[in-house]
Amino acid sequence: MRFVVHCTFVRNNKMSLYSKRGVSAQKEDVHAAIKNLDKGLYENAFCKIYPDYISGDDAFVNIMHADGAGTKSILAYLYWKETGDVNVWKGIAQDAIVMNLDDLLCVGIQNNILFSSTIDRNKTLITADVLEHVINGSKEFLDSLKNYGVNIHYLGGETADVGDVVRTIAVNGTMMARCAKDKLITNENIQPGNVIVGFASFGQASYETEYNSGIGSNGLTSARHDVLNKYYAERYPESFEPALDNDVVYIGKHKLNEEIIINDDFTTTVGKLLLSPTRTYAPLIKFLLEKYFDDINGMIHCSGGGQTKCMKYLPAPLKIIKNNLFEPPEIFKIIQQNSNADNKEMYQIFNMGHRLEIFTNEAKALDMIEEAKAFDIEARIIGRAEASDKKELQIILNGEILMMNKYQ
C-alpha cells in the first residue's frame, strides 16, 4: 500500500493564509497516520517498491502509484463555464496520468504500465459531455505515447456521482507495473561529485501540440486564489469552500481571458497558462534510460515540494547545491506578483522552470543535455551533490543563497 504525501514548506507568517484555505502545509496528521507502514524495498526510491507478490519472482518487483490532477480541475471548471470549451477537460485527463507516470519514470518504469482512472463528480454541475472528454482525453493521450514506445494499458476505472462529497469534480488515477530489479533507479547511487541535470517544464516539446507554461499540477490552490480576481468568487461560489474567509478567496488581479505576452511572436492568456497540461518527460526518459541507464544515479520529479523535493530521497548525508536554475517562466512571475510571495516560498512550492532532475556524472550530463534537444526540451546542469555530514540544500539565485535547509 502506497500513500503519497506532498509536503510544502512555507514561512511562518504565511502559514495562516494556507491554513485558512484548507491546505495543510506539512501534512503532519497524514505523516502520523502512515508512520508505521512498510517503506518498501528501497527506502530512497522515488516510488514505493515491493516484492513481486503477483508471481513471487525474486528478480522482479511490483509498483503501484496513485495521484491526480488535484484542484487544477476547478480551474478547468471555471474555464469551461466561461468559454464553453469542453476540450479543456482533456488537459485534466493528461494531468492525472502524468502525475502518476512521471513519478514512475523516476524509478525506471517507462513501458508496459496498467492505468485505472477514478472520477468523482457532482452530477448537478458536471455534465456527461465533461465525463466523455475526460475519459476520451485519457485514451487519446495514452495512444499518443505509444508512438514513442511508452505503452500504457487503459483498464477503465470508477466513475461515481458523489455530489454530497465533491463540489465539482475530482480526476485521479492509479498506475501499476512489474519490473526487473536490475532495471530500477533507486537513488541509492546518488553520491558526491554527481551533477544534477534539470529538464525544463516549459516551452513546447516536439511531442506537444502547443506552448506549455510549466505549471504542472502542484500549488494550484494557491495559484488559483492568488492570481484570479473576486469575480470568480461571486459568479462561481461552488468553486471554493464556503467556509473560507473572504480575504483568501480569489484575491488576484486577473481574469482567465486576459492576454499575456510571452515573447514577440507569441501571446496567450492567463487561463491557458494556468491550465497548461502537465508535461510528461516519458518519450525523452525512455530514450535516456535505454542509452544511459548505468550512468543515471538518481531521478527526482520536482512535484509537491518544488525545488526541495530531492532532499527526501537522498541515500546519505549530502549537500545539494542548486546554483544554475532556469529563469522562471512567465506563469510563476504572475503568481509571485499577485501573491507577494518571496523567492523562498516560490521555490518551495513550485517547480519554477524544471520538473525533472537526473543525478549523473558531468560527461554524461552533457550528453543527456544534447539528447534533450532532439525532443525540443531545454536542459542544463542546475547543480551538484557534495560530501557533507548532514543532508542540506542551498538554492543560489544571482549569487545570493536563497535557503540553507538542514535536514539531518
Band the pLDDT of 26: cuts 50, 70, 90: very low
Q: Which cell goes with 333?
A: 512571475
What are the grid coordinates assigned to 110, written together? 517507462
State yes or no: pLDDT of 191 exceeds 70: yes
Residue 386 in contact with residue 318, Cβ under 8 Å?
yes
| CB atoms inside a 10 Å sphere around CB 272 | 20
DSSP-derived secondary structure letter, 278:
P
- Cα–Cα distance list, 44 to 38, 151, 155, 272, 311 (Å): 13, 26, 30, 36, 10
| Boundaries of every domain in the chain | 12-212+275-406
Residue by residue, DSSP assigns 59-80 as TEEEEEEEEE-TTHHHHHHHHH
Would you say domain 12-212+275-406 falls under CATH 3.30.230.10?
A: no
Nearest to 271 by CA among 223, 202, 239: 223
Query: Within a 10 A sphere around the Cβ of 312, how many other Cβ atoms?
Result: 15
Q: How many CB atoms lie within 10 A of CB 357?
A: 24
Of the two residues 359 and 304, the one the predictor is more confident about is: 359
With a cut of 90, say whether residue 232 has pLDDT above it: yes
Residue range 126-172, pLDDT digits in tens = 999 999 999 999 999 999 999 999 999 999 999 999 999 999 999 99
Which run of H or E residues covers position 104?
Answer: helix 88-105
**Which residues touch 33 (CB under 8 Å, ≥6 apart)?**
none
DSSP characters for 16-35?
HHHHHTT--SS-HHHHHHHT
- State pLDDT tens for residues 251-309: 999 999 999 999 888 999 999 999 999 999 999 999 999 999 999 999 999 998 899 99
Nearest to 8 by CA among 25, 23, 30: 25
Q: How many CA atoms lie within 13 A of 121 on its CB side?
A: 19
Helices in 218-329 by DSSP H: which ranges? 220-227, 231-235, 270-274, 282-292
Q: What is the mean predicted confidence (pLDDT) over 73-93?
A: 98
- pLDDT exceeds 50 at position 9: no
89 burial class (0-12, 13-18, 19+ CB within 10 angstroms)? buried
pTM of the model: 0.93
17 pLDDT more than 60: no
Q: According to the model, what pLDDT value does residue 10 have?
A: 44
